[in-house]
Amino acid sequence: MTKIALTPLAQSLPASVPFVGPEAQERQMGRPFKARLGANESAFGPSPKAIAAMQKAAAETWMYPDPESYELKHALAAHCGIAADSIMVGEGIDGLLALVVRAYISIGDRVVTSAGAYPTFNYHVAGFGGALHSVPYNGDFEDPDALLAKAGEVGAKLIYLANPDNPMGSWHQADVISDMISRLPDGCLLVLDEAYVDLAPEGTAPAIDTAAENVIRMRTFSKAYGMAGARVGFAIATPEIINGFDKVRNHFGMSRTSQIGALASLQDDGWLAHIRAEVDASRQKIGQIASDNGLTALPSAANFVAIDCGRDGGFARAVLGRLVEDGIFVRMPFVAPQDRCIRVSCGPEDQMQRFADALPLALAHAHENLG
Amino acid sequence: MTKIALTPLAQSLPASVPFVGPEAQERQMGRPFKARLGANESAFGPSPKAIAAMQKAAAETWMYPDPESYELKHALAAHCGIAADSIMVGEGIDGLLALVVRAYISIGDRVVTSAGAYPTFNYHVAGFGGALHSVPYNGDFEDPDALLAKAGEVGAKLIYLANPDNPMGSWHQADVISDMISRLPDGCLLVLDEAYVDLAPEGTAPAIDTAAENVIRMRTFSKAYGMAGARVGFAIATPEIINGFDKVRNHFGMSRTSQIGALASLQDDGWLAHIRAEVDASRQKIGQIASDNGLTALPSAANFVAIDCGRDGGFARAVLGRLVEDGIFVRMPFVAPQDRCIRVSCGPEDQMQRFADALPLALAHAHENLG
């Protein structure tokens, strides 16, 4: 009996996890984290109306989800002021990114991103055999000009850009993004990840144009809406691009309770303003904690703040290692020179306080060990 | 500006939905179904313990799921009496089938199934460019000999077999399946869909052998456990096969609440026995309704019963059409001669009564129209 062979493509891939979950770290440490500030979850929680709706829906879990996510899709369309045929609901932005790559990238097709941007996108590109090219950040900003130049040079079919950016929290004004879209090479699709845009200043998101044939925008209930565990994202594009999803998606992949929770969350009018205020206060608090420790917090349009630890990646890694050891779950950028920072998610006061208590010790530890 | 081109493979695919959801039918009719007996959901509901656990978890939806589904995976391992590294948890069997096809099928690779078996599997095979070959049922049974012969003939990498079968409810004894596994061609993997096995007689499932390199078994919380809306399935195979999933899956694709609900459901010791009794009673009830109307119910090892309407597919379609019009959601096999049947899911007494009330009228209608 010969073994069953994976496809040549699958054989070429590592068995990898783009992010190790905090639960795995907790199992390894043998104790839970005291503060969960590493995954840009919203510890402010979901809307009470979403919680109530999900609790009510629990007994009806015996029913399959509506494969069209009809009600949620139409509510999103009304919310965005566009037609429902320009929206696809999927299992988080991660799931939608996989489908976009699958729909557009054959083995060897070129894709462009920024070095140090979202690794899960890179994972999917590799997973479908795409050839990934990256350009450096410009300062702490993703660089539209460099992305466009590289895409033209290699003949890329996809460009990935997050606005606001993760992991740095930096952002471009809407007109910079609009200008980028207008300059995309022929046959190149911009994957515009707007996971954090609900938390950004006015003027960050370009107006939605559902006739634009060269851009697909990704949004989520995981961040501002505080529903990361529900896995609900949505894509906005032309009806033709949206139609393409129905060729490749897992039609019954959405949790029914998640659909219902996301809908209730969207219908809770005051929730987004409440969370924007909480996140803004928390960003300021993180900034204060940083400066209290002689560090600089970078400006952020997201629900996290990158803190410049003032030295190199080795130093920031030592700080981060000690924070994790002390029960504070945080993460950091993967690539220099952004890896001089640690990335701290916004959260309620008690979580901020635990981080504030742990940071001086972590810095002292890093200084001791690295001189 | 040229349009962005889908991959040649994606261009070749229709934008399709393997199953139109009952919600779409309801929207079209402008009224809800009176009985929901078409998708083999379990209207008996999930375990009250699962409901309570999901309700409790709702407020924690802000946290991402554990990408390893560690606790659920280990509980399943204990439940099955195997090691956890032989289990992969995923977004329902549908999601796991997509990943298996993706991992093993390159464009043009051959796959074998039965004509009229699970269309979602076929959808995924087409979606990754596999060449699907099918063999007829033998009577109302999937035919292991014919599947093996065809697989040998075309050099198939995958064979799909459901035991118990959907849509007929028929089943093979464990030794028939074991014998089939022992005769698989070299380099061919059996995808053994056991979605309904929790409801089958003792002796239907072969003992689990996690050293068997040529079989992957699929199970689910959607049927006996009554959690179709949660999208939780799991695969059982060698650690090497299971490892392959980590190359291609969406690591954060599971709903956190679904993970928690499935775990609570599994830990509710009495639940499965309770549901087996309910399903058994309901199968008998459907048999009684059939014979009250001069029809024959086929023996079933699943939570549904195929009723032979006694004539051809056209007649059964007329019966089904009228049932749907009367607010009874049922489905039927796609392929002759199995399409002489309608397929009715088990359910509680009130739903059975509504079906019993509607069937005579639907039969009369079909006789009137088709003579």
How does residue A82 score in pLDDT terms, banded at 50, 70 and 90? very high
The answer to whether B39 and B19 are in contact (CB under 8 A) is: yes
Please check whether residues A323 and A204 belong to one and the same domain.
Answer: no
Task: Give the residues across from A189 on adjacent strands.
Answer: A158
pLDDT per position as a tens digit, A41-69: 999 999 999 999 999 999 999 999 999 99
Query: Which pTM does this prediction carry?
Result: 0.97
CB spacing of B4 vs A104 below 8 angstroms: yes
Residue B145 reports pLDDT greater than 90: yes
Q: Is residue B4 part of a domain?
A: no
Q: Which pLDDT score is estimated for B161?
A: 98
What integer is the mean pLDDT of B155-180? 98
Q: Which pLDDT score is estimated for A2?
A: 67
Question: Could you give the 3-state DSSP secondary structure of residue B360?
Answer: helix
Backbone angles phi, psi at A215, to 5 degrees: -145, 140
What integer is the mean pLDDT of B111-129? 97
Please check whether residues A62 and A112 belong to one and the same domain.
Answer: yes
Please check whether residues B140 and B174 belong to one and the same domain.
Answer: yes
Closest CA to A234 of A368, A59, A69: A69
CB spacing of B94 vs A252 below 8 angstroms: yes
Q: Is residue B13 part of a domain?
A: no
- Distance CA(B45)–CA(A67), nearest Å, equals 20
Q: Is residue A113 part of a domain?
A: yes
End-of-domain residue from the set B232, B267, B302: B267
Residue A18 reports pLDDT greater than 90: no
What integer is the mean pLDDT of A14-21? 82
Please check whether residues A102 and A198 belong to one and the same domain.
Answer: yes
CATH classification of the domain holding B335: 3.90.1150.10
Say how many domains are in chain B: 2
pLDDT per position as a tens digit, B123-143: 999 999 999 999 999 999 999
| Closest CA in chain B for residue A105 | B7
Please check whether residues B122 and B222 belong to one and the same domain.
Answer: yes
Please check whether residues B31 and B102 belong to one and the same domain.
Answer: no
Please check whether residues A279 and A243 belong to one and the same domain.
Answer: no
Q: Is residue A10 part of a domain?
A: no
Window from A11-25, A322-336, B176-190, B307-321 with minimum mean pLDDT: A11-25
Please check whether residues B60 and B172 belong to one and the same domain.
Answer: yes
Please check whether residues B276 and B259 belong to one and the same domain.
Answer: no
Distance from CA of B346 to the nearest CA of A (A): 13
CB spacing of B4 vs A62 below 8 angstroms: no
Please check whether residues B230 and B308 belong to one and the same domain.
Answer: no
CB spacing of A1 vs B186 below 8 angstroms: yes
The answer to whether A164 and A204 are in contact (CB under 8 A) is: yes
Q: Is residue A300 part of a domain?
A: yes
Please check whether residues B74 and B210 belong to one and the same domain.
Answer: yes
End-of-domain residue from the set A238, A267, A296: A267
Please check whether residues A306 and A335 belong to one and the same domain.
Answer: yes
CB spacing of A230 vs B16 below 8 angstroms: no
Contact map slice: B 223-262 vs A, CB within 8 A: 226-231, 240-241, 243-244, 246-248, 250-258, 261
B36 interfacial to chain A (CB closer than 8 Å): yes
CATH classification of the domain holding A135: 3.40.640.10
Distance from CA of A273 to the nearest CA of B (A): 17
Q: Is residue B14 part of a domain?
A: no
Who among B41, B62, B257 is closest to A62 (CB)?
A: B41
End-of-domain residue from the set A267, A283, A311: A267
Q: Is residue B6 part of a domain?
A: no
Q: Is residue A178 part of a domain?
A: yes
Size of interface A-B (CB pairs under 8 A): 291
What is the span of the domain harbouring residue A62? 48-267
* Mean residue pLDDT across chain B: 97
E strand or H helix at A263, and its extent? helix A256-267
Residue B2 reports pLDDT greater than 70: no
Q: Which pLDDT score is estimated for B207?
A: 97
Residue A219 reports pLDDT greater than 90: yes
B129 interfacial to chain A (CB closer than 8 Å): no
pLDDT per position as a tens digit, A156-173: 999 999 999 999 999 999
Between CA B117 and CA B125, with CA B121 as vertex, the angle to 5 degrees is 125
Task: Give the residues across from B89 on adjacent strands.
Answer: B234
